[in-house]
Amino acid sequence: MSRHSETVINVINPNMTVTMTELIAKAAQASASPTTRIVGRTARFGAASIEGHYDEAIAAVGMLREIEAGNAEGCHAHVIACFGDPGLLAARELSAVPVLGIAEAAMHAASFVATHFSVVTTLSRTKVIAEHLVRNYGMEQHCRKVRAVDVAVLDLDKPEANVRGTLLGECQAALREDGIGAIVLGCAGMADLAHDLSTELGIPVIDGVAAAVRFAEALVGLRLKTSKHGDLAFPLPKMRTTL
Amino acid sequence: MSRHSETVINVINPNMTVTMTELIAKAAQASASPTTRIVGRTARFGAASIEGHYDEAIAAVGMLREIEAGNAEGCHAHVIACFGDPGLLAARELSAVPVLGIAEAAMHAASFVATHFSVVTTLSRTKVIAEHLVRNYGMEQHCRKVRAVDVAVLDLDKPEANVRGTLLGECQAALREDGIGAIVLGCAGMADLAHDLSTELGIPVIDGVAAAVRFAEALVGLRLKTSKHGDLAFPLPKMRTTL
Amino acid sequence: MSRHSETVINVINPNMTVTMTELIAKAAQASASPTTRIVGRTARFGAASIEGHYDEAIAAVGMLREIEAGNAEGCHAHVIACFGDPGLLAARELSAVPVLGIAEAAMHAASFVATHFSVVTTLSRTKVIAEHLVRNYGMEQHCRKVRAVDVAVLDLDKPEANVRGTLLGECQAALREDGIGAIVLGCAGMADLAHDLSTELGIPVIDGVAAAVRFAEALVGLRLKTSKHGDLAFPLPKMRTTL
Amino acid sequence: MSRHSETVINVINPNMTVTMTELIAKAAQASASPTTRIVGRTARFGAASIEGHYDEAIAAVGMLREIEAGNAEGCHAHVIACFGDPGLLAARELSAVPVLGIAEAAMHAASFVATHFSVVTTLSRTKVIAEHLVRNYGMEQHCRKVRAVDVAVLDLDKPEANVRGTLLGECQAALREDGIGAIVLGCAGMADLAHDLSTELGIPVIDGVAAAVRFAEALVGLRLKTSKHGDLAFPLPKMRTTL
Amino acid sequence: MSRHSETVINVINPNMTVTMTELIAKAAQASASPTTRIVGRTARFGAASIEGHYDEAIAAVGMLREIEAGNAEGCHAHVIACFGDPGLLAARELSAVPVLGIAEAAMHAASFVATHFSVVTTLSRTKVIAEHLVRNYGMEQHCRKVRAVDVAVLDLDKPEANVRGTLLGECQAALREDGIGAIVLGCAGMADLAHDLSTELGIPVIDGVAAAVRFAEALVGLRLKTSKHGDLAFPLPKMRTTL
Amino acid sequence: MSRHSETVINVINPNMTVTMTELIAKAAQASASPTTRIVGRTARFGAASIEGHYDEAIAAVGMLREIEAGNAEGCHAHVIACFGDPGLLAARELSAVPVLGIAEAAMHAASFVATHFSVVTTLSRTKVIAEHLVRNYGMEQHCRKVRAVDVAVLDLDKPEANVRGTLLGECQAALREDGIGAIVLGCAGMADLAHDLSTELGIPVIDGVAAAVRFAEALVGLRLKTSKHGDLAFPLPKMRTTL
């Protein structure tokens, strides 16, 4: 699949909204090294947007199918482009190559450039999901607060939602109240806003899609692969259904 | 669905092996109050057994469909009968009635009768899953160790695996080395062995299926329902695929 | 003591106020299964109400005497009906049968029906006691906040304290500010208000007395007994004073 | 009670064994500053020795009575001389002057002279009590392990128990296996052995009685008193029984 | 260096401002036992004040030189008189005698007289340093909040900064909002204000310089020395540069 | 300093041993992208090797001077090439560009390709330093154990130390006993052994120098800079000494 010296990264949008995949893939390619080629994929099973535990559970299965597709085509790494990182460990189990979640990548990047950050996500009901990730990734001492702007994922690109203005206001509140040095954007659909917000706020504003792409390149460059020893070894052979 | 004063508990085997569902449902009914009726269900999507993150991810979707089936029939509570509690929060999102995972129920029960316990599960590769649950349920201070007997789930009922003997040996090692007062059995397929092992070892040996059934009855008796405020509110209406 | 197939639960009010025992026993019986008989007991040593570390320490001794009385009469389980769960581990040491504290039961029940809850207790000075329990029970990730209404325990039943209104206001504040899906009532003397508050607020409001009774029934039904191996083994024989 | 410039420290043996009080008081006086006078007191309610949760609960009440006696006589500080620190917060509630537990003092002292320590206590069944203190005092990152020599408290002074040899062996094992720089002795009855063991092992071996006495002197010298704001304010006036 | 029965404590001001050393040494001597002699030393390498990670790093080296000077003169203990405790473990490595940091001493003292405290420090940018110490010392469960008055260290003694009034206001806010029983002052330059603030507020207000001096005396009195086994053993011989 | 489109990374060896800098710089360049130029620098103040808290403290100052040198030359990022990450936050304070420590980078990389790893470092006395980093970086749930081979840093390249064989043995022990999927090498001086050990063991073996270089490239590619808001803002202007 890849030409010589080209790194191919399989960027999966776990929700089924193709316009969002396009936004994500475009942001991913814009953030990538010149020698990286982004392959954008959309889950073909799951939900139009991922805004809860149930959406995550069904989206994970759709996403995993695209992991398999990427593996079949010989991609060099995968990025799961939904801030809840649905199915991350399962995807690692399926893959010899590295897999990164965008929440994971964004939080780790934030911890490299600031001692504390806050997350700004979409709906209040998904704050719990981000908080669980904060704990699972050992980020409790870096993440001060998870905030929400209460805009639905599929409204992010609607002008009347005034997402940029709403996000900016919430980021400013975080800067004023949370004792932070950086912001993590809590949705793949905000990928195109990070640089602009960062310039306006004067602090790092981190989009997980870009961060995951660059960290995936780093792991590929390091020739580091997902460990196949222990719980991330390939799934045991057994009867399984397929979509 | 239920006759007057009968409590109906939907016990879902998230793996697709019907003989295991039968074992589980039988153990569940045997452990239940006389006024409880167990409805055993088998996931019709997923894997023959659940022994890794990938199996968990696909099993969750099959399990959730049976949650919906149970809700449609008007059951009073659900039990997810796989020790990894796959899809637990998603199942709660789908349900107005209580949902319990067997790992969750077993660990909580253990913490009520002993200050420390160890878990004995099937394969070493699944120990990480149990360890994650220990942390997610706040059981780090109660659970001393997760141990494995390295018998595959589908071999549990094979005489040549000598599961009872192997389990007994591992439990005895836990009793000798871990500073514990109780054992939690780490697989629904061990449900029928708990009482015998408990008698032999002289300490509580806890099967999660039984524990979850009884705690589900307790929640029903308390008229406690899954909170529909916040992250467990019913999923937002949107386009979703179905199996 | 018990008739055939009857479960006898020894519900101990660790404070010495008999009217409060009556309220508690009545709530306990109302919450119990039809086949459960509640025996209410009042500590005969200690304090009129338990509102601090000192009250807890002396109440524990009075409570333990009633544990012994219950054991002598052959009860099937004990409930310690004070939200600080005074003397819980000591009571387990004395008992072959299960012992539950109401704070413990309420918090565990809350974690089964919501991902986050807040506690609403009586006096501000006792918030520290509840916070210690939150940590001891591994509930830090579920409990958002401990709140107090600053009504003394023995004023709970005084009309002029307007307890229902005050509690409702604090619960509404919790619902608005804490990011929760359930409330835990932090005093046995609030047992009769849970269902009404739950209806008014539209979320689970959990009374520990009811929760402990039902979980005690569950443990009895599971034939689970307090482990007598390790730190909960019966006390070593030695000279001790008695009250 | 005290002569000019004399500091009076009330050292309470929470168990009822007078010979042990004598050993403790002697060690306390030997460890104290020349201007400190130790008043040794023995609990008159409770147990001959404290080796479990139940012993702790009843001993706390006996101990608290001696706190009141010390306060009545105008002592400048209290030391609770049992490694479980029974009733510590209750004692602080009763006292305007400082109160120290010997486990607390020993662990804090150990953290001042080594980055990691292990505790060596008497019976295995009491290890859980020490582990709870480690967590309550925030010492998880300093305490590597709680070990026991399985000698009963009242056998500590019996030549046939060979306590010094047994302790030395366990300390040597800790030094070899635990990655530590200091040992904390886990029983007031070991107070007279600390210096000798320290010399033999070449590392700090810390007796809590001595540590608590010296820290109590330090707090007195600092004119620091127990906070009477919040949960340690004097108990609210109400009906209470007395021994 | 020391006369018979005199304890000599080497109190090092890690910043290079001699007037501050004088204030610290005076406060230290005033807080010390009559038989203690304070030797005040000023770092001769580093920064005029310590208000950030960089200041801490360079100050540590200047401070360590004064540790060596104190060791050469035979002092009995060291105190590092800067609230960030810069170089604490390195200083312990260099010393056979005890070394205490003032943040460490103040927080431990606070935990002896109150269940919860807040820290009030100088600049907001140094709050992170105090928060790291809170975690390193296991004080998360005791410390409610780190607050800052946003007065620079070297402005503390300027009348126009109105430090006493500003501190008092912040302490009152802490008392009102944080659920605390004591205050820890977060800068050595506040040493002279503790008693006055304590009187005004009616709760313990703890200055780390005084606390560290008294705890150092306690360790000397206990004949406890820094462990020379493990990571605090004297540095290995090798080529090193000197200032 | 940099040619168009070239990324310049300042790789600082905080110890003063030039041969080790050469090994590190060579490994760094070999691991870097083709468009990255590594500038290797050696601390000119500090110690020949860093094997304790004291070495770390003095090395930090020498390292920081090379941070300033790199900043003056306009490098795009810094790597601190000593496994203790000495002076990391101070270096971030001095720099607008990203700064990475090799322990930090290695542990984060390990958490991307395995759920659990162990660290294998040089001397046992430095294990505490690595353990502190594990906690500071939130890696407690990923890092199973810190192990040491007890070879001094400056002996790593001596044939008679048989470092490769010794490391291999320790890694094999980790693989057998620790329940891990990856190894983190705990010294910059092991940089050249990672690939060979990885091949031999069949699991990822991670060298922090390479990981830090690639993550630094990633941050540069993301145009992420060290936050200058809060505790990482440039140091306040004041009198400071210079080496």
E strand or H helix at E209:
helix E208-221
Q: Considering chain D, what is the average pLDDT of its residues? A: 96
Q: Considering chain C, what is the average pLDDT of its residues? A: 96
Tens of pLDDT, residue by residue over B5-29, are: 899 999 999 999 999 999 999 999 9
Domain tally, chain D: 2
Q: Provide the number of CB pairs (under 8 Å) joining chain B to chain D.
A: 6
Residue D232: inside a domain: no
Backbone angles phi, psi at D225, to 5 degrees: -120, 160
Q: Provide the number of CB pairs (under 8 Å) joining chain B to chain F.
A: 6
Q: What is the pLDDT of residue D1?
A: 44
> Can you tell me the mean pLDDT for F215-227?
98
Is D232 close to E181, i.e. CB distance below 8 A?
Answer: yes
Is D90 close to C53, i.e. CB distance below 8 A?
Answer: yes
**Using CA atoms, how far apart are residues B119 and B129, in angstroms rounded to an integer?**
12
Cβ(A139)–Cβ(A111) below 8 Å? yes
Cβ(B23)–Cβ(B41) below 8 Å? no
Contacts of F176 in chain B (CB under 8 A): none
Q: What is the 3-state secondary structure (H, E, C) of E33-60?
A: CCCEEEEEEECCCCECCCCCHHHHHHHH
Distance from CA of B182 to the nearest CA of C (A): 7
The length of chain E in residues reads: 243
Tens of pLDDT, residue by residue over B104-144, are: 999 999 999 999 999 999 999 999 999 999 999 999 999 99
E243 pLDDT above the threshold of 80: no
- Give the SS3 label for residue B198: helix
Do C45 and C165 belong together in one domain? no
Is E116 close to C128, i.e. CB distance below 8 A?
Answer: yes
Q: What is the pLDDT of residue E101?
A: 98
Q: What is the pLDDT of residue A144?
A: 98
**Using CA atoms, how far apart are residues A37 and A217, in angstroms rounded to an integer?**
11
**How does residue E5 score in pLDDT terms, banded at 50, 70 and 90?**
confident
Q: What is the pLDDT of residue F4?
A: 58
Is A116 close to E135, i.e. CB distance below 8 A?
Answer: no
Cβ(C135)–Cβ(E141) below 8 Å? yes
- Beta strand ranges found along chain E (DSSP E): 7-13, 36-42, 77-80, 99-101, 117-121, 143-148, 182-186, 205-206
Q: What is the pLDDT of residue D106?
A: 98
Tens of pLDDT, residue by residue over A100-147, are: 999 999 999 999 999 999 999 999 999 999 999 999 999 999 999 999
Residue C202: inside a domain: yes
Q: What is the pLDDT of residue A2?
A: 45
**How does residue C2 score in pLDDT terms, banded at 50, 70 and 90?**
very low
**How does residue F243 score in pLDDT terms, banded at 50, 70 and 90?**
confident
What tokens does B178 get?
A: 């871990």
> Can you tell me the mean pLDDT for D214-230?
98
Nearest-CA neighbor of A7 among A77, A80, A67? A77
The length of chain F in residues reads: 243
What tokens does F163 get?
A: 């470092």
Contacts of D154 in chain C (CB under 8 A): 238
The contacts of residue A4 (CB under 8 Å, 6+ apart) are: none
Beta bridge partners of B80: B12, B101
Do E28 and E69 belong together in one domain? yes
- For C201-225, the DSSP string reads HTS-EE-HHHHHHHHHHHHHHTT--
The count of C-alpha atoms lying within 13 angstroms of the C-alpha of E191, restricted to the half-sphere facing its C-beta, is: 27
> Can you tell me the mean pLDDT for A220-232?
98
Largest CA distance in chain E: 54
**Using CA atoms, how far apart are residues C243 and B154, in angstroms rounded to an integer?**
57
Residue C236: inside a domain: no
* Contacting F residues, span 173-212, partner chain B, CB-CB under 8 Å: 179
Nearest residue on chain B to A231, judged by CA atoms? B125
Residue E228: inside a domain: no
The parent domain of residue A185 ranges over 103-208
Do C110 and C76 belong together in one domain? no
Tens of pLDDT, residue by residue over B179-209, are: 999 999 999 999 999 999 999 999 999 999 9
- Give the SS3 label for residue B224: coil
Q: What is the pLDDT of residue D87?
A: 98
Is C64 close to D58, i.e. CB distance below 8 A?
Answer: yes
Q: Considering chain A, what is the average pLDDT of its residues? A: 96
Tens of pLDDT, residue by residue over F106-123, are: 999 999 999 999 999 999
Nearest-CA neighbor of F86 among D17, E53, D225? E53
Task: Check the CA dihedral E140-E142-E145-E148 and report its sign.
Answer: negative
Tens of pLDDT, residue by residue over D15-45, are: 999 999 999 999 999 999 999 999 999 999 9
What tokens does A142 get?
A: 């870096």
Backbone angles phi, psi at E227, to 5 degrees: -60, 135
Do C143 and C201 belong together in one domain? yes
**Using CA atoms, how far apart are residues B168 and C137, in angstroms rounded to an integer?**
29
The contacts of residue F26 (CB under 8 Å, 6+ apart) are: F192
Write the residue in E115, E116, E141 that is nearest to C135 by C-beta.
Answer: E141
Do C189 and C174 belong together in one domain? yes
Contacts of A128 in chain B (CB under 8 A): 230-231
Q: What is the pLDDT of residue E157?
A: 87
Contacts of C53 in chain E (CB under 8 A): none
A1 pLDDT above the threshold of 70: no
Over pLDDT 90: what percentage of chain B? 94
Cβ(E203)–Cβ(E114) below 8 Å? yes
Nearest-CA neighbor of B121 among B63, B51, B55? B51
Do E95 and E117 belong together in one domain? no
CB count in 10 Å sphere of residue E242: 7
Contacts of B116 in chain D (CB under 8 A): 128
Tens of pLDDT, residue by residue over D85-117, are: 999 999 999 999 999 999 999 999 999 999 999
Q: What is the pLDDT of residue E24?
A: 97
Q: What is the pLDDT of residue D4?
A: 58
Contacts of C154 in chain D (CB under 8 A): 238
- Give the SS3 label for residue D184: strand
Do B137 and B199 belong together in one domain? yes
Residue E227: inside a domain: no
**Using CA atoms, how far apart are residues D214 and B196, in angstroms rounded to an integer?**
55
Distance from CA of F14 to the nearest CA of E (A): 12
Distance from CA of D111 to the nearest CA of E (A): 9
Do D116 and D159 belong together in one domain? yes
Q: What is the pLDDT of residue D7?
A: 97
D166 pLDDT above the threshold of 80: yes
Backbone angles phi, psi at C229, to 5 degrees: -110, 120
F3 pLDDT above the threshold of 90: no
Sheet containing F77-80: give its strands across.
Answer: F36-42, F7-13, F77-80, F99-101
Nearest residue on chain F to E239, judged by CA atoms? F48
The contacts of residue C139 (CB under 8 Å, 6+ apart) are: B138, C107, C111, C133
Query: Do chains F and C touch, with touching meaning 3 or more CB–CB pairs less than 8 Å apart?
Result: no
**Using CA atoms, how far apart are residues A17 and A12, in angstroms rounded to an integer?**
11
- Give the SS3 label for residue A201: helix
Range from A204-208, C4-8, D144-148, E100-104 carrying the lowest mean pLDDT: C4-8
What tokens does A99 get?
A: 């897999």
Among F178, F198, F227, pick the best mutation site for testing chain A contact (most A Cβ within 10 A): F227
Ramachandran assignment for D85, one of left (phi > 0), alpha (psi -120 to 50 degrees), beta (any other):
left
**Using CA atoms, how far apart are residues E116 and E179, in angstroms rounded to an integer?**
7
Residue B238: inside a domain: no
Chains with ≥3 CB–CB distances under 8 Å to D: B, C, E, F
∠ CA E193-E102-D112 to the nearest 5 degrees? 150
The length of chain A in residues reads: 243
- Give the SS3 label for residue E8: strand
Do C14 and C76 belong together in one domain? yes
F129 pLDDT above the threshold of 80: yes
- Beta strand ranges found along B5-112 (DSSP E): 7-13, 36-42, 77-80, 99-101
Chains with ≥3 CB–CB distances under 8 Å to F: A, B, D, E
Range from B190-194, C159-163, E87-91 carrying the lowest mean pLDDT: C159-163
Do E145 and E85 belong together in one domain? no
**Using CA atoms, how far apart are residues E184 and A78, in angstroms rounded to an integer?**
49
Q: What is the 3-state secondary structure (H, E, C) of chain F?
A: CCCCCCEEEEEEECCCCHHHHHHHHHHHHHHCCCCEEEEEEECCCCECCCCCHHHHHHHHHHHHHHHHHHHHHCCCEEEECCCCCCCHHHHHHHCCCCEEEHHHHHHHHHHHHCCCEEEEECCHHHHHHHHHHHHHCCCCCCEEEEEECCCCHHHCCCHHHCHHHHHHHHHHHHHHHCCCCEEEEECHHHHHHHHHHHHHHCCCEECHHHHHHHHHHHHHHCCCCCCCCCCCCCCCCCCECCC
E strand or H helix at D182:
strand D182-186
Do D86 and D203 belong together in one domain? no
Beta bridge partners of C36: C7
The CA-to-CA distance between both ends of chain B, in Å, stands at 24
**Using CA atoms, how far apart are residues D212 and D215, in angstroms rounded to an integer?**
5
Tens of pLDDT, residue by residue over D116-133, are: 999 999 999 999 999 999
Residue C17 to residues C101, D239, E101, Cα–Cα distance (Å): 18, 10, 49
What tokens does A22 get?
A: 């396009």
Cβ(A69)–Cβ(A95) below 8 Å? no
Contacts of E141 in chain C (CB under 8 A): 135
Residue B241: inside a domain: no
Q: What is the DSSP letter of C10?
A: E
Task: Check the CA dihedral E41-E44-E49-E53 and report its sign.
Answer: negative
Write the residue in F139, F214, F227 that is nearest to A114 by C-beta.
Answer: F227
**How does residue B4 score in pLDDT terms, banded at 50, 70 and 90?**
low
Is F226 close to A141, i.e. CB distance below 8 A?
Answer: no
Tens of pLDDT, residue by residue over A145-162, are: 999 999 999 999 898 889
Query: Do chains B and E touch, with touching meaning 3 or more CB–CB pairs less than 8 Å apart?
Result: no
Q: Could you tell me the CATH number of the domain that includes residue C177?
A: 3.40.50.12500
Residue A57: inside a domain: yes
Is B135 close to F116, i.e. CB distance below 8 A?
Answer: no
Is F218 close to A222, i.e. CB distance below 8 A?
Answer: no
Nearest-CA neighbor of F210 among F113, F106, F72, F133? F106
* Contacting C residues, span 123-162, partner chain B, CB-CB under 8 Å: 136-142
D150 pLDDT above the threshold of 90: yes
Tens of pLDDT, residue by residue over B51-106, are: 999 999 999 999 999 999 999 999 999 999 999 999 999 999 999 999 999 999 99
Cβ(E194)–Cβ(E188) below 8 Å? no
**How does residue A4 score in pLDDT terms, banded at 50, 70 and 90?**
low
Do A13 and A74 belong together in one domain? yes
Tens of pLDDT, residue by residue over E152-200, are: 999 998 988 899 999 999 999 999 999 999 999 999 999 999 999 999 9
